Amino acid sequence: MSTPVLIHGDCMAEMARLGDNSLHAVCSDPPYGLVEFSPGEVGKLRAGHGGLWRIPPSMDGCERRPLPRFSVLTPEQKKSIETYFFQWGTVLWPKLRPGGHVLLAGNPMLQLYVQAALIEAGFENRSTIMRVYHGFRGGDRPKNAEKEFPGVCVQPRSNYEPWMLFRKPIAENTVAENLRRWETGGLRMLAGGKPLPDVILSFKTPENERAIADHPSLKPQHLLRILVRSLLPLGTGMVLDPFMGSGSTLAAALAVGYDSVGIELDAAYFELAQTAVPRLGALYPGVKGEFLDDNTAASGEKIREEQSLIWDELKAEANLTTSDTSVLQAGLD
């Protein structure tokens, strides 16, 4: 395995310089609405006021981190997501091997635009993997009329993050032939021959990881190691993160033992990634994404904590009776 390669620049321009068929897979957390990481919006985020970023209302006295509000995007801005990802997919196409997978973090309100664009660019829509965790978006009451309409919310409360899975079509007659020639076409199974599930129980990014990489969209190593590991079916090859941020994908690749390359536009986040990738990658040395519930402080206990939080909240919010919960519980088991 070689040292992760970090590139400072615009991903479209930098991807165009990569060698044809040099990538086995892509794993990334793009700017969901494109605009939230534009220089103007990042300036407002760093200044602490204005723009698309908002601190969610405090519900339990805990300090909240800023989150972008995608509900305010205009129809034109949503259309521009589709236009952008079509061009992005077109630039990526020759660089990715036939049968290579692309896994992109999404947002329930915006994922359809990204999916439409990448299908138009020629990729197959393979699945959506749901990262189940206790989010803070949604559930808001009608603004300035909360008392007038106490029983109304404008959006469901968010408890999952979709990760959209695409594949560049295989070039050979069968997946087996594609695996032999290109080392791509399938997904790597978890330990014990278990297929990757399309629902993964997760949790908010732990504070010890945030202390290393203070990026507003930092993803947890537990989740990323499972996802990144699954993308190389034969356990070898090159993974790209074109919207690298502080480098959590590259850190996961490092921990799993994969080659990786990352691209980041923002100079401060690029600088942060240079120190964060080796430090995040060195955390939890036994956790290599082979199990859904590695028994470490960063996963096992956290998962159980989140599971009970989600469950407690479901019960409290729906005010369910004992018989109602038994029906739901049967479905969840």
Ligand X SMILES: C[S@@+](CC[C@H](N)C(=O)[O-])C[C@H]1O[C@@H](n2cnc3c(N)ncnc32)[C@H](O)[C@@H]1O
Residues that bind ligand X (CB under 6 A): 10-11, 29-31, 37, 215, 217-219, 243, 245-246, 248, 263-266, 269
- In the complex with ligand X, which residue's Cβ is closer, 73 or 170? 73
State the nearest-atom distance from the C-beta of 170 to ligand X, in Å. 28
State the nearest-atom distance from the C-beta of 210 to ligand X, in Å. 10
State the nearest-atom distance from the C-beta of 276 to ligand X, in Å. 8
Output the residue with the shortest Cβ distance to ligand X: 245
- In the complex with ligand X, which residue's Cβ is closer, 184 or 246? 246
State the nearest-atom distance from the C-beta of 133 to ligand X, in Å. 14
Q: How far apart are CA 213 and CA 207, in angstroms?
A: 10
- In the complex with ligand X, which residue's Cβ is closer, 37 or 291? 37
Is residue 307 classed exposed, middle or buried when 0-12, 13-18 and 19+ CB atoms within 10 A define those classes? middle
- In the complex with ligand X, which residue's Cβ is closer, 99 or 245? 245
Strand partners, 68: 53
- In the complex with ligand X, which residue's Cβ is closer, 163 or 182? 163
Nearest to 222 by CA among 267, 161, 173, 289: 289
State the nearest-atom distance from the C-beta of 162 to ligand X, in Å. 14
> What are the DSSP calls for 124-177, one per residue?
EEEEEEEEE-----S-PPPTT-TTTSTT--SSPPP-EEEEEEEEPPPSSSSHHH
